[in-house]
Amino acid sequence: MLTDVVLYTLIGYLSGSVLYSLLYVKMFKLSDIRINSRDHNPGVANAFKNGGFACGTFTLVGDFFKAFLPVYLYLHLTSHSLSSIGAALVMVAPVIGHIYPLFHDFKGGKGITSSFGSLAAILPIWQPIAFLAILFLFFSCILVIKPNYYRTLVTYIVFLPCILTLNINVSVGTGALLIASAIIVRLLTSKEHKEEFSMEPIWKR
Ligand SMILES: O=P(O)(O)OC[C@H](O)CO
């Protein structure tokens, strides 16, 4: 059992370490999508903005499935279920890989897309991914937080207590807590230029 956890955690980390936006840029000899951006993030937003539709789609699919697949395979190819606490480590590994990638001097992205990939792999346990999506929508459309940096930070911070209130098993809860914590640490240690925080309810716009 321990061997499987270690193996899939390692596979997840290595898979997460592949930054698909940078892979696309390398394959098609484009200019780096991080350069002309505020946050220099090798994520989906900059891939669409600076690399175009194909680059954005490639990054979205790649960054999502690089997290989805290791978790999904762990759950379906080994005899372990989500009731094993090792599942929490397997869930967070691709997100850590994306944030601190082995193949890119440990300088990666924020982990948003990979967090959705990892949480999608545990379906039909739907509560964590549904709560995360609802929080993103809430802070984007109802209580509008700007800029993106703070919207993401607040979303994952609020996600933490939400997870604790969910009636889900301990390993899934721990995995979701680890994912949110990794992203919060990444954001809080980010040196990107931050615009002023603003929060405006939709009914005051
Ligand atoms: O968190 P990432 O690195 O997957 O990037 C996602 C979005 O591009 C952030 O705006």
CA–centroid distance, residue 92 to ligand 1 (Å): 16
pLDDT tens string 128-142: 999 999 999 999 999
List all residues 6 or more positions away from 104 whose beta carbon is below 8 Å from its beta carbon.
Answer: 17, 19, 22, 42
CA–centroid distance, residue 170 to ligand 1 (Å): 27
Residue 122: pLDDT band (50, 70, 90) is very high
pLDDT tens string 32-74: 999 888 889 999 999 999 999 999 999 999 999 999 999 999 9
pLDDT at 202: 87
Q: What b-and-e string marks burial along 138-160, b requiring 16 or more CB atoms within 10 Å of the CB?
A: bbeeeebbebbbbbbbbbbbebe
Q: How confident is the model over 100-127, as a mean pLDDT? A: 96
pLDDT at 2: 82
| Maximum CA extent, the chain | 55
pLDDT at 160: 97
Mutate to test the pocket of ligand 1, among 22, 38, 63 (most ligand atoms within 8 A of CB): 63
- Of 171 and 81, more confident: 171
Dist CA 8 CA 136 (whole Å)? 29
pLDDT at 25: 96
CA–centroid distance, residue 98 to ligand 1 (Å): 10
CA–centroid distance, residue 79 to ligand 1 (Å): 33
Tell me which residues have their CB closer than 6 angstroms to ligand 1. 41, 43-45, 63, 109-114, 148
Q: How confident is the model over 75-104, as a mean pLDDT? A: 91
CA–centroid distance, residue 42 to ligand 1 (Å): 7
- Give the rounded percent of residues in the chain with a pLDDT score beyond 90: 82
Overall pTM surpassing 0.90 (yes/no): yes
Strand ranges (DSSP E) for 36-184? Answer: 143-146
Domain total for the chain?
1
Give the closest residue (by CA) to ligand 1 atom 6.
43
Full residue range of the structural domain in which residue 10 is found = 2-204
Ligand 1 atom with minimal separation from the 44 CA? 8
